[in-house]
Amino acid sequence: MQKYRRWLLIIMTTVCLTLILGSGAVQATKKKTTTIPAENKATFMIMPELPTDNLSSAKAGYFNLHLKKHQKKTVRIKVYNPTNQAINIYGQVKDATTNDDATIDYLGTQKIDTQLLKHPGSELVSVPKKTVLPVGATKWITIKINNQSNFRGIKATAINLSATQFNQSSAVKNAYRYAIGLILNGQSLPSKDYQYLQSPRIKTRFVANRKAAISIRLNNPDPMYLQKAKMQVTLKNQKWHFIKYERTLKNGKIAPNSSFYLNLLLGGKRLVPGTYKMKLHIASKQYTKNINKYVVITKSQARYINRYNVAYQLYRNWILGSGLVVILIGSWIGFKVLRRKRDSNAKND
């Protein structure tokens, strides 16, 4: 009886330690999380002057222009300073890129893929680098477009206007930025010349907030947007068919001649090494495409992800703890049954 109680105490201690360590790992991760403050409202105001030959409606609020070879165009943006101090407005031209999980970035937060976009639209556009805007003043910022060659499809850019303002009450400089789309349309791209979305590789990594993911690289080699894109992807282990990872993404937007990653978040799942068959179905407003290929997740990749995936570690610890609890309860019931049986036999004797 004494040995049994000692064994019972060891199991209970192990369960408690397992659960404490599991919750401790999550708490440690939460402490490292940084909250990103919401964007402040811009301190200067803008109004694009859309030309009469703009391909989009006036309500769109961005420039959408058709360009021919050796054609020059000029567009303007009105800026106004409603504050009580002068503002320096800085102008830049940025090429559109695609963020992970198919959203478009016009702020230039990531570099363009020069293998896909060899002749960026930003090379055709010039904007004043600095405009001084006095208190209460209104000015026009002139954007010049100079196209010297024929190009097909779309070159997607944006005019970035930014300013910094010193907040006297908090002694902090606040940065403000507008991105006004400037879409340049060349010759039409016939469907027979589409190269379609491509998937050259995958990799395993940790994305935002240290979430473990299988990231599928996707390239859009065509000079056109892919809009309202629905992507369905499945990775099925070829040895253990019940092991698979899948995701469906709806309403994706992909910039022309850009690349990005589609992330399959693992959550609490264990990453299993091996050969996988990848099935990727893309249905956009422009076309439908299927990609089928085999990919490999190595043992070292799986080991690294599983070791540092907090969600998986917590899930595993809870499973181990639950299993020990089940064993404990089963052992206790078994002990009670054996004890009653022994007591009954003793009475009969």
Torsion of the alpha carbons at 228, 230, 231 and 234, rounded to the nearest 10: 170
Band the pLDDT of 323: cuts 50, 70, 90. low
Band the pLDDT of 57: cuts 50, 70, 90. confident
292: nearest Cα among 303, 300, 282: 282
What does the alpha-carbon distance between residue 280 and residue 102 come to, in Å, rounded to a whole number? Answer: 15
Q: What pLDDT, on a 0 to 100 scale, did the predictor assign at position 38?
A: 37
Q: What pLDDT, on a 0 to 100 scale, did the predictor assign at position 60?
A: 86
The more confidently predicted of residues 19 and 303 is 303
What would the mean pLDDT of 296-323 be, rounded to a whole number?
81
The more confidently predicted of residues 338 and 96 is 96
Band the pLDDT of 164: cuts 50, 70, 90. confident
Band the pLDDT of 18: cuts 50, 70, 90. very low
What would the mean pLDDT of 52-81 be, rounded to a whole number?
94
Percentage of residues of the chain with pLDDT beyond 70 = 77
Q: Using an 8 Å Cβ cutoff, are 173 and 136 in contact? A: no
144: nearest Cα among 107, 109, 100, 184: 184
How confident is the prediction for the chain on average, in pLDDT? 85
Q: What is the pLDDT of residues 199-232, one digit of tens each?
A: 999 999 999 999 999 999 999 999 999 999 999 9
Q: What pLDDT, on a 0 to 100 scale, did the predictor assign at position 326?
A: 66
Lowest-pLDDT range of 155-164, 177-186, 286-295, 335-344: 335-344
- In order, the DSSP letters of 306-327 are HHH-HHHHHHHHHHHHHHHHHH
What would the mean pLDDT of 67-74 be, rounded to a whole number?
95
What does the alpha-carbon distance between residue 69 and residue 332 come to, in Å, rounded to a whole number? Answer: 86
Q: What pLDDT, on a 0 to 100 scale, did the predictor assign at position 15?
A: 44
Band the pLDDT of 239: cuts 50, 70, 90. very high
Residue type, 56: S
96: nearest Cα among 178, 185, 184, 158: 158
Q: What pLDDT, on a 0 to 100 scale, did the predictor assign at position 318?
A: 53
The more confidently predicted of residues 174 and 199 is 199
What does the alpha-carbon distance between residue 301 and residue 328 come to, in Å, rounded to a whole number? Answer: 35
The more confidently predicted of residues 11 and 330 is 330
Q: What pLDDT, on a 0 to 100 scale, did the predictor assign at position 27?
A: 35
194: nearest Cα among 289, 113, 329, 314: 289
What would the mean pLDDT of 314-326 be, rounded to a whole number?
61
- In order, the DSSP letters of 33-81 are --PPPPPPPPSSEEEEE--TT-SS-GGG-SEEEE--TTEEEEEEEEEE-
Residue 141, judged by CB atoms within 10 A of its CB (0-12, 13-18, 19+), counts as: buried
Q: Tokens representing 325? A: 């609890």
Q: What pLDDT, on a 0 to 100 scale, did the predictor assign at position 157?
A: 98
Contacts 24+ apart (CB under 8 A), 146-149: 146/72, 147/67, 147/68, 147/69, 147/70, 147/71, 147/72, 147/184, 147/186, 148/69, 148/70, 149/69
The strand order across the sheet containing 125-126 reads 45-49, 71-80, 138-147, 125-126
Q: What pLDDT, on a 0 to 100 scale, did the predictor assign at position 167?
A: 64
Band the pLDDT of 34: cuts 50, 70, 90. very low
The more confidently predicted of residues 263 and 342 is 263
Band the pLDDT of 238: cuts 50, 70, 90. very high
Cβ burial 19-54 (10 Å sphere, 16+ → b, else e): beebeeeeeeeeeeeeeeeeeeebbbebebebeeeb
CA 141 to the chain's CA centroid:
33
3-class DSSP string for 237-274: ECCCCCCEEEEEEEEEEECCCEEEEEEEECCCCCCCCE
pTM of this structure? 0.78
Percentage of residues of the chain with pLDDT beyond 90 = 70
SS3 301: helix
Band the pLDDT of 41: cuts 50, 70, 90. very low
